[in-house]
Structure formats: C-alpha cells, structure tokens
Chain A
Amino acid sequence: MDETFGNYSILGKAIPRVDARAKVTGQAKYAADIEVANMLWGQINRSPYAHARILNIDTSKAEALPGVKAVTTGKDFGGFKWGWSGPTRDEEPLAVEKVRYQYEGVAAVAAVDEDTAQEACDLIEVDYEPLPGVFTPSEAMQEGAPLVHDDRPGNICVEYHWNFGDVDKAFAESYLVREDTFQTPRMAKGYLEPPAVVAYWPDPERIVYIGAKGSPYFPYRILAKCFDLPLSNVRIITPIIGSDFGGTKNDMTPADFSAVMLAKKTGRPVKFVTSQFDALTTDLRRHPMWITVKTGVTKDGILKATSLKAVADGGAYTRISPLTMFLVGTCQTLPYKLPNFKYDAYNYFTNNPSSAAMRGHGLYHSRFAADVQLDMIAEELGLDPVEIRLKNSIENPKPGEIYETVNDVHVATCGVQECIEKVAEAVNWKARKGQKKVEGDTAYGMGFAAATYNSGTKLSAHNACAAIVRVCEDGSVNYLTGATDVGQGSDTIMSAIVAEVLGIRLEDIDLKRVDSAFTPVDPGSYGSRVTVHAGEAATKAAEDAKSQLLEVAAQQFGVKPGDVDIKDKKVFVKSSPERNMAWERLVRIACYETPGKVIIGRGYSTQGISMYGLADFSKGVGDIGTNYSFTAQASEVEVDVETGVVKCTDNNVIAHDCGFPLNTQAVETQVQGGSYHQGISAAVYEEFKMDSGQTLNPNLVDYKRPRAYEAPMTQVIHVITNDPYGPFGAKEASEGSCCSAPPSIVSAIHDATGVWIKDLPAQPEKVFWALKKKREKGQK
C-alpha cells in the first residue's frame, strides 16, 4: 500500500499519470512521429573544424541535385543573432563568418526525402581557413590565446566575485582549514529522443512550429524576432516530449531555424529529425568544472567559512552560463549553516560544443565538492559523517519564521535534519560504522551526503505561469496551461490540482498542452519551477472557475456563495450537506439559465516575485528560488579492487523534503531517476572524451550511460515540511537528488577502499590507478 499524505481527495497520493496510457500503448506522438502532407525533409551541413573562418559557401551542386527544393545558409538570416538575454546574443542560426565548435551548422537543405537531403548536404562546398583553437579553460585563459569571439578579450564568458562576512578572519580562527580541488565531467543531457521539428507557413505571414521543446515560448519569442513577425502570428505546438533536462530542448538549434527558413523558401512543411550522433556532438552539455573549495572548521567540526573557486568550460557560445555560474555559488550557504562565504567564478569560452543547464543545474558541481570535502574534514577530526552533517545543518524554521543565509537566501521550510536522521536510520548507519566488508576482491563501503535545490526558480522579466480553466456545459473541464510536461509529470500534477480545487475527478480534466495560439505564455520547464509557479496558476484558475459556479449554486440554494462547497462531484450547503446537487447539474444550470454563463477561470502566479524580489547575479545576493528542497542520501557501493569497477548496491536510500508530495509516485520516480541518471551516472559512468574539440565517443555504445543491471533499487522517504510558498505546501522534487548522489558515491568509494576520487567520473581506470598508488605507498 502506497503512503498517502494530507487530507485531500486526489493530492498527496500515488496518482497514475494522465498520459501513461498513450505512452504505454505507443499512441503518444513525439515530434519525430509527426507527418504533415506534402512534407519535405531537412538536413544540416556541418563544419568539420572546431574553429575556422568561412571563406566561401558554394551551394550550386546541391541545388542542382534532383529532389532538392531549397538550400539555406547563415546569410539568409540577415545578421540575426540570438541568446539567453540581451547582452548574451552571440549566436547565429547558421554560422556566417566563422565556426566556433566542431559540427556547427553552416548550411541546410530541404529535399523530397532524407537521403536526398543528406546527399545534397554533402555536395555543399565550404572553403574554410582553419584557426588555432582553445579547448580547455586553462588554454583559453593563457595570455595571447586565440579568441573564440573577437570581441571577448581573455575568452572570459562569465566572471563573478562575491564576498560575505569575513572569510580571512574566519580561516585564521579555524582549528582546521582544508583546500581541495574537484572536477566534474563533460556530460550529455541524456535524453533518448533526439530533437526533432516540423515547421510550415500556412500563409506568408504565419509560422507553425511543432517541435520537441520543453520551453516552447523560447522559440515563440525567438522565431518572431528572427522572421520579423508579430507574436500573434507564431504558433508553437508541443507534441509529447522525450525528456529534456535543460539546454537544447529549451534553446534553439540550427535545425529549428533552418526548418522555418526552408519552409518559407519552399512553401512546404519541412521536417528535421536530429540523429543521435548529431545530438551527442552538437547539443548542449553539462559544464565540466574545476572547483577549488577551501573550508575552515572548529575543533568540533562546525563550519566557519568557505571560499569557493569555480572554473568552467562554457564552450563556444554564452547560452545560459551566467545563470549556471550564479547557481554554482548561490546555494553554497545551504543546507549547512555557513557564516562566511567567498565565491570566485570564471567561465571561459572554448572551441567545444556549448555548455548549458542540466538537471541539478549549478548546485550539483559545488555541492559535490563541498560535501565530499566535509567527509574529508570529518575523517581528519575523527567525526562521523552523519554527526558532522547534523551539527551543521539548518534547523527547520518555526512556522512564520524565515532562515536567512549570509548571502540573503530565504528559507521558510528546511527538512534536511529530518532527511539525514531518517536516512541514517533506514540504512542502520550506527550499526554499520566500522564494519568494513571485504569479500575476495570486492570491497563494500557506504557514503552519506546532503543537498538542496532551488525550487520555483525566478528570473528577471517575465516569470509568471498562467492557466485557464474552461468548464464545458456537460461538466467536463479543459485545462489550458503554458507549462510543458517533458516527462516530469506536470500534466498530471496540474490536472490533479484543478480537479482537487474544483472538487471533481482527475478523469474529468482534459489538459491541453502548449499551443501558443491558445495557451497562455509561460517561461518554460527549467529550474524546477513548474510545480511551484504553474501549480499556483492552476490553483488560482480553478478557484476562479469554482467561485463563478458557487455563485450559481448559492442562488439555487438561497444561501451565500461562502455557504456552499463542491466535493466528490457534488455541490452542497456546508451546514446541511443533504441539500446538494450533482456537479453536472450545477454546470448545466450555470451554462443554460438565460442568458447562460461561460465559465472560464483564469490565474497566474505571483508568489515567487512577491517574496524578497530577485537575485543579483553580480553581487550574489538574493533568492533564485521561491523555496528550496532538501535531500539526504546514503549510497553503498561495491568496488572490485582488482579492476577498479564501482557498482552501486541496492542499499541506497534518499529522504527528500519536497514540502508536500502532490503525487507520491511521481516524486519517487523523479527522485530515483534524478539520483541515478544525472547523479550516480556523473559519479561513475559518463564523460565525453575530447581531442582538440572533437568528441571521441559520440554514440551510446562508447559513451556509457547507466543501464538497468547496474541500477540501485533506491528507496525514497518522503519528508513533509508544508512550505508556505508552494501550492499545497509543495517544493521541487528530484533536482536535489542529482546533487546528493555524487558525493555519497565518492564517499562510499573512500569508505570501501580508502581512496578519494576527486575527479569525476570514478571510471574503472581512475579507481584502478588510485588503488595501485595507495598500495605502492603502503609498501614503502
């Protein structure tokens, strides 16, 4: 029997997803499954060089190939550049003057079929002048290094320097000060569904774009600007989306722009389906980062100060790097009390594919470094990893009180202590202590970690989610949302909130996915923002519709609107529930009694901004989150000391404070997935191998992704804190587990073998050499 929380009809329980039937029967349509009559196929011509000047592009042979309908190059876009924000618009739809990473798009073709389009691409002749490149931050920062962007001296993409409290004084007063450098890998986003798009112009003034986008209002705004059309004429339709995890399915790709341009040129629909090779070589990646963390503690292990330096490889274009580097620093003052904090961030342009947001965005890097170092400190001081975490972790503020960090981050609810205690209890941490287990060549060890993640991320400019609840005259309900379910389950959560507020069943709600012609504008699915902001909008829109219906009910019963309520599809007088009528009858009366109402509820979110305003990236103060989730995790690993192979055991427990689990099942799946795919995988499996800008393992055989036979059967414990700033008390679910998994794994490897792997992933070769070095040192 699944756990249930709260006193609700639908929320707080295990709710099967509204889209699961379509997905499990193969009926769900993803972008690549969509066909439009008279459709052409597109392909991109890409640069073989990581850094080169484009001298000439000759498309004549391609255009002459039978079956080719149009060719486009960067010049067709009239100098248009785009980017995450005004100052960061540094990227062209297709490169015009120079290419900055290998396989950057240079031209595109539309033809009658995929093969012809590919053949035509191969006939495009591009003259390049290869340029020397920079392929790591350390190369990029050298004096006189080649510049990726001529107008960006020193190849600096982002730089921040923050200082809170008095770090130097605190270090001087500390009993122990440690400095360690850690490294996180260059990772793929990991979606199996490569990006795909179908675009057409129903008339010369209108675009229809159907594509795999988790933030469909990004292309809405960008395409309007690019093609100089009013927003009202840009229609973005979202099919079912096969995961996103930040990055490419938020932003634009050369195929997105080219599909629209080629559709304009040919007057026909154009479809692009990216290959996995192209996705792995050109899509946005998680930033590889070098994190130096210096921490001072008292003799008892109380944190006095941290100085953090993060150096990141931003790749060829800015994309979302300013936010990444902010996130790496901002939550360093959570989940532990930290009175003094300094942060220096450097993000460099290189001639690698661009880096961007990925599940666990930013916090995953710094939390990995700091939490592993906390275990190193604990070991030096002879303290227990659980004990040192409990000592330093932030207590849950009393209702009405707020915990404020030294960098002005505000926390209304914090379940980290309860998370730590529950995980320690679940894995029987105390009894386990000191019981090293070695069986033949296999050494077992367990590691502990705690983490946080910002929830309901709020950025400057348009930040609100909006919703429309349309009650049809037969009692069925359309829910129109601007939010996009990329797999996390928001369609189910939003439907559940609307049904709960209206007092009807989940199956009465028909959710309309984003079609910008009809649904309200929305920032998108990133930064664990959907549940908090879209959830607030859903609640308000449903309450609005409900209040319109309650007025009608009150008239019918001859009472005041406040005297009636709806539950289990019945409207009733609260003081005498025997006076009631069916939901359908109420709706029918409302819609048909002359002149007949049209019941449309609307609402939009305000919570995130009304509280404490916005964060200041350059100073590092303020809230990026509306509220903050907390996580603790214990992971056991087995290490083959002969080969260095690390594998998780099923002894893996996560306690997660998501405030209130609106759908327990969805929270569990999210947390298990976040931990394994984006956390554990970063710790032990995944990394792009690069050579001068070339990706050496651009396929899912050589690029190791986590599979079922290595998956830990992670147990999830719900910790309830009922956050006042989330809908029904909710905060984000899962990005925290991406952050707690890597440090718990690295500490477990240390517990098993005595070696610290500071450079992720802990692939067998790395562990093998570390063990060998340790053995040789022991023999001396």
Chain B
Amino acid sequence: MKGEMKELKLTVNGKPYELEVKAETLLVDLLRQELKLTGAKVGCLDSACGACTVNIDGKAVRSCSVLALQTNGREVTTIEGVADGDKLHPIQQAMIDHGAIECGFCTPGMVMSAKALLDENTNPTREEVKEAIQGNLCADEGYVKYIEAIEIAAREMRGGQ
C-alpha cells in the first residue's frame, strides 16, 4: 500500500542502519533525503544518465532504478564511502591527477561504475572500461580522460604492473 511504512535493514558505507521507509521510496531518495548522502546525483530518474550510480554488494546499480526496500540485508556503497578517510581510492586519485573532472556532476556515478569494474577485474581492456561506464552520461569532458584515468587506476591497483 502506498504510504505504508516497512522495516529496512541495510549497511551503507560500512555502517548498519535499521530504518522505516515507505514502500515506494527509491534508494536514491533514501540516500539523499533521509541519510543526507547527496553525493549520488539525480540527473534523470529514468535510469538513463547514471549520475545516481552506487554499488550494491559490489555491483554498479542506478539508485533511481531500485526501491530502497530492495536493498534489505545488502551492502550499499556510495561515493561518500569510497575513500579511506583522507586517503583517496586510486580511481579518485587518478581522476584528479589526470584532469578527468570538469563540472563533476557525473563524477560520483562514474567512480562507482569504475569501482565495480576494478573490484572484479584490475586488468580490464579498454572496451571493458568503456562498457563499464556506458551507463554514465557525461556532458562536458568527452570521456577520454575518464577512460584513461580508470586505466591508470587499474595499473595502480595491480601494483603498478
């Protein structure tokens, strides 16, 4: 029923939560409005732009395309949970150093898609990198430096090999 509150247990960025949410609440709204994690952006709400991408149990998922309740018992990682304290993740560091970021609106989603890829495979081909971020629209930087930055990060994660 619309408006009915349901119980939800999940982990977000390593922190366990026990919440009551409406059945129709989208994950992105839970993150942004209830948990105040505004790193995931709302670009379209059509699952087309990828700006709201998060990781659920390690997979890249558009948080506008799942209900909050579908994450019951799962582990959600948002952009706010990627760095280890002050130490940035190699993907984040490479995107900064390589000049991949312009307006930055797609950046959190881009990082989350890249992270899901590199957590599974630190030696992807260029085609695999492009495929991993194909659901993430960028408006201004042309993807070239994002693709190269993810490759640089992959090398870093392989220990420079």
Listed in ascending order, the chain A residues whose CB lies under 8 Å from chain B are 14, 16-17, 19-30, 32-33, 190-194, 240-243, 245, 273, 275-276, 486-489, 665-666, 668-670, 672-677, 699-701, 705, 707-709, 711-714
Contact = CB atoms under 8 A, between A and B. Distances in A.
B67 to A, nearest CB: 16
A672 B105 contact: no
Contact of A699 (B46, B105, B108): B46
Contacts of A25: 39, 79-80, 82-83, 88, 92
B89 to A, nearest CB: 9
Contacts of A33: 32, 38
Given A488-B102, A676-B143, 18 more contacts: A16-B96, A17-B99, A24-B101, A192-B44, A193-B103, A276-B44, A276-B45, A276-B49, A488-B140, A666-B99, A669-B99, A669-B102, A673-B141, A699-B48, A700-B48, A707-B143, A708-B134, A711-B147
Contacts of A276: 43-46, 49
B97 interface: yes
For the complex of A and B, 7 pairs with smallest distance between CB atoms: A26-B39, A487-B103, A23-B104, A242-B105, A665-B99, A26-B79, A672-B142
B40 interface: yes
B145 A707 contact: no
Contact of A668 (B40, B83, B145): B145
Nearest to A652: B144
A675 B46 CA distance: 26
B136 interface: yes
Nearest to B129: A708
A708 B143 contact: yes
Given A17-B99, A20-B96, A240-B104, A26 B142 contact: no
Contacts of A666: 99
Interface of B: 32, 37-46, 48-49, 51, 78-80, 82-83, 88, 92, 95-108, 111, 127, 130-131, 133-134, 136-147
B143 to A, nearest CB: 4
17 contacts: A19-B104, A24-B79, A24-B92, A24-B111, A25-B92, A191-B105, A192-B44, A193-B103, A240-B103, A242-B41, A669-B100, A669-B141, A672-B142, A676-B143, A699-B48, A708-B133, A709-B130
A30 B40 contact: no
A243 B147 CA distance: 20
A666 B130 CA distance: 22
Interface centre among A193, A666, A714 (most CB of B within 10 A): A193
Contact of A26 (B40, B43, B138): B40
A629 to B, nearest CB: 17
Contact of A30 (B41, B92, B98): B41
B104 A673 contact: no
A170 B141 CA distance: 43
A711 B48 contact: no
Given A16-B96, A32-B42, A700-B48, A24 B103 contact: no
A677 B138 CA distance: 8
A675 B92 CA distance: 25
Contact of B46 (A14, A22, A191, A701): A701
Prevailing SS type, chain B contact patch: loop
B102 A673 contact: yes
Contacts of B43: 192-194, 276, 700
A519 B119 CA distance: 44
Contacts of A240: 103-104
Interface centre among B37, B78, B102 (most CB of A within 10 A): B102
Given A20-B96, A194-B43, A713-B147, A28 B104 contact: yes
A26 B88 CA distance: 12
B40 A16 contact: no
A24 B104 contact: yes
Contacts of B141: 669, 672-673
Contacts of A674: 142
A726 B39 CA distance: 37
A663 B136 CA distance: 26
A362 B55 CA distance: 42
A709 B140 contact: no
B104 A700 contact: no
A364 to B, nearest CB: 16
B140 A487 contact: yes
Contacts of B134: 707-709
A241 B108 CA distance: 14
Contacts of B100: 669
B50 to A, nearest CB: 9
A144 B132 CA distance: 55
Nearest to A19: B104
A245 B97 CA distance: 25
Contacts of B131: 709
Given A676-B143, A700-B137, A192 B102 contact: no
Contacts of B32: 33
Given A33-B38, A486-B103, A699-B48, A669 B95 contact: no
A238 B106 CA distance: 19
Nearest to A486: B103
B44 A699 contact: yes
B137 A707 contact: yes
B108 to A, nearest CB: 5
